[in-house]
């Protein structure tokens, strides 16, 4: 028994000294391997008597168990140390503030457009989108502005190659072409439903046309209050009994809701547009706030010209309506107190981030 304790001690010391798993397995081989010291001792028992074998065998087994226990403890200690080192290396400082993603938001012009759509939506207006590259016919001629009309010179624009008078050939100068596009589709649909052949002007019954068309428009113009690309919203209401009274009530309702105040006045100022007759500019005046007392032009408007009603496919003896076209950027400037239109298109985050809510 006594001769075994030094071997157990030596094994424990060797295991404790091993610095790597490989060294530990080497040390194991020295004591428990095929020609290890314990294995040699077992082999040496062959010469003993049966009695001696019993006691010696039990002693060797105990020593072997002690060595195996030491080996397992050393393996466990090594694994624990490895895990601890790994955890240490991968340590996270959970007290550091997280990295934040900048939160985006809508552009002030988009915010204004969404307000406009919601307000007119609540008054039963459909919202339509039209092409920015438009055909001469829709942008001018169908709006009672033939090729030699002087009003065209105020709408100088960018022309694209290809195209023709009836195929898209220019960047639209206003959203008014959507009056024609939308009305033509509307008339077509209700003509078909009425079983009408589609020839000539339509004088049958149909639901009213009530639509707004917001979108980008283009002109050769650039200064603090004009940008070559800007936004308009077109409005059109055509029916059998629509008058300026309706235009005034709709527009007043819109503008007071848009600016969230009843303390403003609205006036029609006589004007000229080829596609309306009579025509008027719509001006508003705030009765309080920083813009108090100044008349501000916010929209063109008028009663839809009979020729335009005809170009929609409708009989002007039965159908009448009003239209308006307002600058969305202008409305956004007034609502948010922005004094230079160009700020909207510079893309400066310091400016844009002021509109996030």
Q: Does 300 bind ligand DAH (CB under 6 A)?
A: yes
Taking CA atoms, 300 is separated from 73, 115, 148, 152, 347, in Å, by 91, 19, 22, 16, 29
Residue 341: both structure tokens together: 């239109």
Asked whether position 168 contacts ligand DAH by CB under 6 A, the answer is no
Would you count residue 329 as binding ligand DAH (CB under 6 A)? no
Which residue, 215 or 302, is less far from ligand DAH as judged by CB?
302
Within residues 132-151, the interface with ligand DAH by CB under 6 A covers none
Min. distance of Cβ 150 from ligand DAH in angstroms? 14
Tokens 């996270």, located at residue: 92
CB-CB neighbours of 54 under 10 Å: 11
Is residue 215 a contact point for ligand DAH (CB under 6 A)? no
Kindly tell me which of 56 and 330 has the beta carbon lying closer to ligand DAH. 330
Contact between 181 and ligand DAH per CB under 6 A: no
User: Given the complex with ligand DAH, which of 36 and 327 has the nearer CB atom?
Assistant: 327
Spatial CB neighbours of 195, under 8 Å, sequence gap ≥ 6: none
Stretch that binds ligand DAH, among 6-14, 145-153, 250-258, 299-307 (CB under 6 A): 299-307
CB of 201 to ligand DAH, least distance (A): 21
Instruction: Choose between 214 and 325: whose C-beta lies nearer to ligand DAH.
Output: 325
Handedness of CA 8, 10, 16, 20 (dihedral sign): negative
Binding to ligand DAH by residue 301, rule CB under 6 A?
yes
In this structure, what token pair is assigned to residue 69?
Answer: 């226990």
Contact call for residue 174 and ligand DAH (CB under 6 A): yes
Residue 324 binding ligand DAH, by CB under 6 A: yes
Q: Which is nearer to ligand DAH, 214 or 302 (CB)?
A: 302
Residue 207, burial from CB neighbour count under 10 angstroms (0-12, 13-18, 19+): exposed
Does 328 sit near ligand DAH (CB under 6 A)?
no
The residue from 302, 311, 312, 319 that contacts ligand DAH (CB under 6 A) is 302
Instruction: Give yes or no for a cis peptide into 278 (omega within 30° of 0).
Output: yes
Nearer to ligand DAH, 15 or 275 (CB): 275
Query: Which of 176, 313, 320, 330: binder of ligand DAH (CB under 6 A)?
Result: 176
Q: Please select the residue that binds ligand DAH; options are 323, 328, 331, 333, rule is CB under 6 A.
A: 323
Min dist. Cβ of residue 353 to ligand DAH (A) = 31
Binding mask 226-245 for ligand DAH (x = CB under 6 A): --------x-----------
Q: Which segments of 158-264 does DSSP mark as H helices, in order?
A: 177-193, 244-258
- Please count the CA atoms within 13 angstroms of the CA of 25 that sit on its side-chain side: 3
Q: What is the dihedral of CA 44, 47, 53, 56, to 10 degrees?
A: -40
One of 139, 157, 169, 276 touching ligand DAH (CB under 6 A): 276
What is the DSSP secondary-structure string of 42-110?
A: HHGGGGS-HHHHHHHHHHHHHHHHHHHHHHHHHHHHHHHHHHHHHHHHT---TTSPPPPPPP----HHH
Judged by the rule CB under 6 A, the positions of this chain that interact with ligand DAH are 174, 176, 234, 273, 276, 300-302, 323-325
């Amino acid at each position: 028994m006594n001769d075994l304790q030094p071997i157990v001690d030596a094994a424990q010391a060797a295991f404790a000294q091993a610095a790597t798993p490989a060294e530990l397995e080497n040390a194991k081989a020295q004591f428990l391997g095929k020609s290890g010291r314990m294995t040699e001792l077992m082999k040496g028992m062959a010469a003993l008597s049966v009695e001696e074998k019993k006691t010696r065998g039990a002693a060797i087994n105990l020593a072997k168990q002690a060595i195996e226990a030491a080996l397992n403890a050393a393996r466990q200690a090594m694994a624990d140390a490895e895990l601890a080192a790994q955890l240490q290396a991968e340590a996270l400082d959970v007290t550091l503030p997280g990295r934040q993603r900048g939160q985006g938001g809508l552009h002030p012009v988009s915010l204004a457009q969404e307000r406009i759509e919601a307000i007119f939506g609540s008054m039963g207006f459909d919202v339509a989108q039209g092409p920015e590259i438009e055909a001469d016919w829709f942008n001018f001629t169908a709006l009672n502005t033939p090729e030699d009309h002087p009003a065209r010179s105020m709408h100088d624009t960018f022309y694209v190659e290809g195209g023709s008078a009836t195929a898209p050939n220019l960047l639209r100068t206003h959203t008014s072409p959507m009056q024609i596009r939308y009305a033509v589709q509307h008339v077509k649909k209700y003509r078909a439903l009425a079983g009408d052949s589609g020839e000539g002007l339509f004088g049958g019954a149909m639901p009213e046309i009530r639509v707004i068309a917001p979108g980008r428009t283009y002109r050769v113009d650039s200064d603090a209050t004009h940008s070559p690309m800007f936004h308009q919203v077109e409005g059109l209401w055509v029916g059998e009994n629509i008058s300026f009274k309706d235009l005034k009530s709709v527009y007043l309702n819109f503008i007071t809701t848009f600016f969230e105040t009843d303390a403003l006045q609205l006036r029609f100022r006589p004007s000229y547009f080829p596609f309306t007759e009579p025509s008027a500019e719509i001006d508003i005046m705030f009765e309080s706030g920083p813009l108090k007392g100044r008349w501000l032009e916010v929209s063109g408007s008028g009663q839809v010209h009979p020729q335009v009603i005809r170009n929609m496919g409708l009989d002007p003896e039965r159908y009448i309506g009003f239209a308006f076209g307002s600058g969305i950027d202008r409305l956004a400037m007034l609502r948010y107190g922005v004094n230079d239109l160009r700020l909207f298109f510079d893309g400066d985050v310091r400016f844009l981030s002021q509109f996030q809510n």
